[in-house]
Amino acid sequence: MTAVAVTALIDFAQPQGAAGERLRYAFGAPLRLLQADTLAEVKPLLEQVQAEALAGRWCLGHVAYEAAPAFDAALRVHPATGPLAWFAVFDAALPWPEDELLPSGAAAAVQQPVKIRWDSGPERAAFTRDIEAIQAAIAAGDCYQINHTAQLEGQLLQGSPLALYAALRRAQPGGYSAFLDTGTRQLLSVSPELFFDWDGSKLLVRPMKGTAVRGATPEQDQAHADALLSSAKERAENVMIVDLIRNDLSRIALPHSVKVPRLFHREALPTIWQMTSDVTADSRPGTTLADVFGALFPCGSITGAPKVQAMRLIHELEPVPRGAYCGAIGVLRPGGHATFNVAIRTVTAQGQRLSCGIGSGITSGATAEGEWQEWRHKLAFLDRASEPFELLETLALADGQLRHRSEHLARLQRAADHFGYPLDQAALLAQLQALVAAHPQGLWRVRLLLDAQGRAQVQAFAMEASPAQVTLALAPQPFEAAQGEFVRYKTTRRAHYDAAAPTQPGVFDAILWNSRGELTECTRGNLALQIDGQWLTPALSCGLLDGVGRETALREGRLQEAVLRVEDLQRATGLAFLNSLRGWIPARLA
């Protein structure tokens, strides 16, 4: 099969198509490139893009946030540092690329591990001041909601932009994903938010407003999803933008055709729940792509309401242009059907330099602490993609028997499902059986790894018997990673644990605790306290790994779950460290 140079990729959900239907294609060398560098050029470019599509061609591109004044001079933005709009025109789409379709060396580039160093982002004190300024503007009646954002800067230390795009798609699957190579920079978008889908008549806009973190257990996850739907703040945030978009759509809609067929719909992303609503309309005859952008752009979900006042305050608070972030990236297929995302969860690459925006909608009920935590949860997709990791299980092999094999494989399957790693259980069992056959006697530590491509590796290492008792020390500060997915699932991404490991001589492990003062776990196993004659272990909702040894002790009735606090250590009459590898080890507090 002939290799082709892939310069653009599109992997969009089809919101007005059948369930699960996707528009997924690659594109080679473009017929021509269209670019607008001034406001006066934006509308003519969109008219030309639509003409190309009506003539039977594919058009992929983006419109930057700073193009907004091209549609309404009252919208305030910073001077742009890149094109206001850019589109590539193609005569045909190619199948979604498999490795053999990529040019020489590109297949290896896609598979190459990616490593990124990101800056620390906005300063916490400055963030709080911005939230206070927004709240003051809301209290003064200047606006109802402001979408506040900041730019993170980073450096691509290893891998290519195409490999980073592949990693981002694994981290944030589904949605409206696109890769655009403009020659001087690459846009890597894995946005979950639809801006609009327009077939020339029917218009659908699906704003995404309202966020909740995913839970540590199925029960907690459902509770968080239910709380999102019932939250007055989150519902208000959503309905304000729905009203704004209804008003925007009315400018190009047939009379009485603007509808809201679906309000407050939950969508599950890997690390957060998001709330969306659908706003539909029938466009007036003669409506053009430039008219659609003129009515809707930028999407109200990334400005706030009212739009003019919101963008004025954004201009005052945010010191740099947003660029492609918070603009729109999309495709026009032959015939003119247009689908654009809201370019959130979008990375811009220029050489080794990377930038990525993060933001949230601020309403009167928002707090600086709550929004700060929301930003952290939204950035989890970057954390996933910024460094390769493997799923990890550690088992004890004693005299030819793998301890708790089925429980470890079940937990590995849960992690594989969460991260989207393919797992062939039959092939993995065959590897484990071969390993057991090669180590029929003695005590061994078995390390099982599964990478993002589904490749499994198992190794055995000689292990000494567990000590009769160990010493544990309370970590000196809260464990900031307690609510993250790299705590809830066992992987080779362990820097957060290594940083919390004890350094005192004779201390076996550290007792971790979260920012609420709740005990969680140790860096290498779970924790048990005996209080009032009963053995208790921290609840999963506190932020910890569901260890197989812990799971076994709970199932056997030896342990009960409870929310335990740091001060409970002083009244505990017993202390233990436990995991599947070492079993139950009595402990004392340093």
pLDDT band at 96 (very low <50, low <70, confident <90, very high): confident
- Residue-wise pLDDT tens digits, 397-433: 999 999 999 999 999 999 998 888 999 999 999 999 9
Whether the pLDDT of residue 304 is over 60: the answer is yes
For residues 463 and 117, what is the distance between their CA atoms, to the nearest angstrom?
36
Residues of the chain with pLDDT > 70, as a percent, come to 96
Sign of CA dihedral 245, 249, 250, 256: negative
Average pLDDT over residues 222-249: 90
Residues of the chain with pLDDT > 90, as a percent, come to 77
First to last CA, the chain: 65
Q: Write out the two tokens for 306.
A: 């009212």
Average pLDDT over residues 276-293: 96
Query: How many angstroms separate the Cα of 225 from the Cα of each of 31, 228, 276, 383?
Result: 46, 5, 13, 23
pLDDT of residue 3: 45
Q: Has 66 been annotated as catalytic?
A: no
Average pLDDT over residues 371-384: 87
Say if residues 183 and 86 touch (Cβ distance below 8 Å): no
Whether the pLDDT of residue 100 is over 50: the answer is no
For residues 117 and 97, what is the distance between their CA atoms, to the nearest angstrom?
28
Mean pLDDT score across all residues of the chain: 92
Average pLDDT over residues 337-360: 96
Tell me whether the omega of the peptide bond preceding residue 467 falls within 30 degrees of 0, making it cis.
no
Structural domains in the chain, sorted by start: 8-385 (3.60.120.10), 391-462 (3.30.470.10), 470-589 (3.20.10.10)
Q: Has 193 been annotated as catalytic?
A: yes
Average pLDDT over residues 171-176: 88
- Residue-wise pLDDT tens digits, 460-500: 999 999 999 999 999 999 998 767 889 999 999 999 999 99
pLDDT of residue 418: 86
For residues 13 and 561, what is the distance between their CA atoms, to the nearest angstrom?
41
- Residue-wise pLDDT tens digits, 143-153: 999 999 999 99
pLDDT band at 109 (very low <50, low <70, confident <90, very high): low
308 three-class SS: helix
Q: Which residues of 569-588 are buried (b: 16+ CB within 10 A; e: fewer)?
A: beebeebbbbbbbbbbbebe
- Residue-wise pLDDT tens digits, 11-61: 999 988 777 789 999 999 999 999 999 999 999 999 999 999 999 999 999
Whether the pLDDT of residue 531 is over 90: the answer is yes
pLDDT of residue 110: 56
pLDDT band at 348 (very low <50, low <70, confident <90, very high): very high
**N residues, the chain:** 590
pLDDT of residue 156: 95
For residues 386 and 380, what is the distance between their CA atoms, to the nearest angstrom?
10
Average pLDDT over residues 226-231: 90
pLDDT of residue 104: 44
Under DSSP, the state recorded for 283 is B
Average pLDDT over residues 78-83: 95
Amino acid making up residue 43: K
Catalytic residue among 193, 374, 407, 485: 193
Of 351, 362, 300, nearest to 326 by C-alpha is 300
556 three-class SS: coil
Of 127, 194, 483, 123, nearest to 345 by C-alpha is 194
For 206-257, where are the E strands, in sequence order? 208-213
The CA dihedral of 189, 390, 273, 150, to the nearest 10 degrees, is: -50
Amino acid making up residue 530: Q
- Residue-wise pLDDT tens digits, 312-332: 999 999 999 999 999 999 999
Catalytic residue among 209, 307, 378, 490: 209
H/E element holding 37? none
- Residue-wise pLDDT tens digits, 47-76: 999 999 999 999 999 999 999 999 999 999
pLDDT band at 290 (very low <50, low <70, confident <90, very high): very high
Q: Supply angle C-alpha 276, 271, 479, rounded to 5.
A: 140
Whether the pLDDT of residue 216 is over 80: the answer is no
Whether the pLDDT of residue 107 is over 70: the answer is no
